[in-house]
Amino acid sequence: MAEVHTPKPDEHDNVYAGLLANDAHWAFGTRPEDLRSEDPLAGVDTTVPDGVDPTALAAYCLMLGDDALVLSHRLSEWCSRAPDLEEDIALTNIALDLLGQARLLLVRAAAADPAEVPILPEGSPVPDEDRLAFFRDDSQFRNVRLVEAPNGDFAETITRLLLFSTWRLALFQRLLRSRDAVLAAVAAKGVKELTYHRDFAGRWFLTLARGTTESRRRLLAGLDALWPWWAELFETHQVERSLAQAGVGVDPASLAAEVEAVLAEVFVASGVDRPSTRPGIEGRTGRDGRHTEALSRMLAEMQVVARAHPRGRW
Amino acid sequence: MTAVIDASTDPDANVERAWAAASTVVDPELPMLTLVDLGVLREISIEGDGAVVAAITPTYTGCPAMATMRDDLIRALRAAGFGDVRIRVALDPAWTTDWITPAGRAALAEAGISPPGRVRAGSGSTGSTGSTGSTGSTGEQPRPVPLQLTPTRRAVQCPRCGADDVELSSEFGSTACKAMYRCRTCLEPFDHLKEI
- Chain A residues whose CB is inside 8 A of the B91 CB are 41, 44, 181-182, 185-186, 188-189
CB of B168 within 8 A of CB of B180?
A: yes
What digits encode the pLDDT tens for the residues B91-109? Answer: 888 899 999 999 999 999 9
Closest chain A C-alpha to B125 CA, distance in angstroms: 6
Mean pLDDT of B110-122: 83
The H-assigned helical ranges of chain A are 54-76, 85-112, 128-134, 154-175, 181-209, 213-226, 238-245, 256-270, 293-308
Work out the number of other CB atoms within 10 angstroms of the CB of residue B194: 21
Identify the pLDDT of residue B153: 83
Q: Does A176 touch chain B (CB under 8 A)?
A: yes
pLDDT band at B122 (very low <50, low <70, confident <90, very high): very low
CA separation, residue A305 to residues A36, A143, A302 (Å): 21, 22, 8
Distance separating alpha carbons of residues A106 and A66, to the nearest angstrom = 8
Distance separating alpha carbons of residues A120 and A272, to the nearest angstrom = 50
- DSSP code per residue over A246-289: TTSS--GGGGHHHHHHHHHHHHHHHT-PPPPP-PPPPS--GGGT
Tens digit of pLDDT at every position of chain A (314 positions)? 445 555 555 555 665 655 555 556 655 445 555 655 578 888 888 899 999 999 999 999 999 999 999 999 999 999 999 999 999 999 999 999 999 999 999 999 999 999 999 999 999 999 999 999 999 999 999 999 999 999 999 999 999 999 999 999 999 999 999 999 999 999 999 999 999 999 999 999 999 999 999 999 999 999 999 999 999 999 999 999 999 999 999 999 999 999 999 999 999 999 999 998 766 667 889 999 999 999 999 999 999 999 999 998 87
Phi-psi group of A12: left, alpha or beta (phi > 0 → left; psi -120 to 50 → alpha; rest → beta):
beta
Closest chain A C-alpha to B150 CA, distance in angstroms: 7
Closest chain A C-alpha to B16 CA, distance in angstroms: 22
- The range of the structural domain enclosing residue A266 comes to 54-271+287-298
Sequence letter at residue A141: F
Q: Does A206 touch chain B (CB under 8 A)?
A: yes
CB of A240 within 8 A of CB of A286?
A: no
Please check whether residue A244 lies inside any domain of the structure.
Answer: yes
Distance separating alpha carbons of residues B152 and B148, to the nearest angstrom = 8
Q: Does B186 touch chain A (CB under 8 A)?
A: no
Write b or e for each residue in A267-304: b if 16 or more Cβ atoms lie within 10 A of its Cβ, otherwise e.
Answer: bebbebeeeeeeeeeeeebbbebebeeebeebbeebbe
Sketch out chain B's domains with CATH numbers: 11-89 (3.30.300.130), 112-118+151-196 (no CATH)
Cβ <8 Å between B92 and A203 = no
Q: Does A260 touch chain B (CB under 8 A)?
A: no
User: Of B96, B37, B93, B103, which is closest to residue B69 (Cα–Cα)?
Assistant: B37
* Minimal Cβ distance to A90: which of B87, B145, B172: B172
Identify the pLDDT of residue B140: 67
Question: Above 50 in pLDDT, residue B131?
Answer: no
A254 vs B9: which has the higher pLDDT: A254
CB of B38 within 8 A of CB of B30?
A: yes
Q: Does B42 touch chain A (CB under 8 A)?
A: no
Cβ <8 Å between B150 and A203 = yes
Q: Specify the DSSP class assigned to residue A41.
A: T
Please check whether residue A48 lies inside any domain of the structure.
Answer: no
* Minimal Cβ distance to A89: which of B64, B138, B173: B173
Whole-number average pLDDT of chain B: 85
Distance separating alpha carbons of residues B31 and A22, to the nearest angstrom = 9
* Minimal Cβ distance to B26: which of A21, A189, A247: A21
Q: Which helix (DSSP H) or strand (DSSP E) does residue B181 occupy?
A: strand B178-183
Closest chain B C-alpha to A184 CA, distance in angstroms: 6
Q: Does B190 touch chain A (CB under 8 A)?
A: no
pTM: 0.88
Q: Does B2 touch chain A (CB under 8 A)?
A: no
Identify the pLDDT of residue B126: 36
ipTM: 0.81
The total number of structural domains in chain A stands at 1
Identify the pLDDT of residue A18: 55
What digits encode the pLDDT tens for the residues B18-58? Answer: 999 999 999 988 899 999 999 999 999 998 888 999 999 98
Distance separating alpha carbons of residues A122 and A311, to the nearest angstrom = 9
- What is the share, in percent, of chain B residues with pLDDT greater than 70? 87
Q: Does A243 touch chain B (CB under 8 A)?
A: no
* CATH number, position A238: 1.20.1260.10
Q: Does A248 touch chain B (CB under 8 A)?
A: no
Q: Does A262 touch chain B (CB under 8 A)?
A: yes
List beta partners, residue A125. none
Work out the number of other CB atoms within 10 angstroms of the CB of residue B117: 15
Question: Above 60 in pLDDT, residue B133?
Answer: no
Among chain A residues, CA nearest to B55: A43
Identify the pLDDT of residue B138: 46
User: Of A65, A134, A95, A63, which is closest to residue A312 (Cα–Cα)?
Assistant: A134
Q: Specify the DSSP class assigned to residue A167.
A: H
Please check whether residue A224 lies inside any domain of the structure.
Answer: yes
Cβ <8 Å between A42 and B28 = no
Q: Which helix (DSSP H) or strand (DSSP E) does residue B68 occupy?
A: helix B65-79
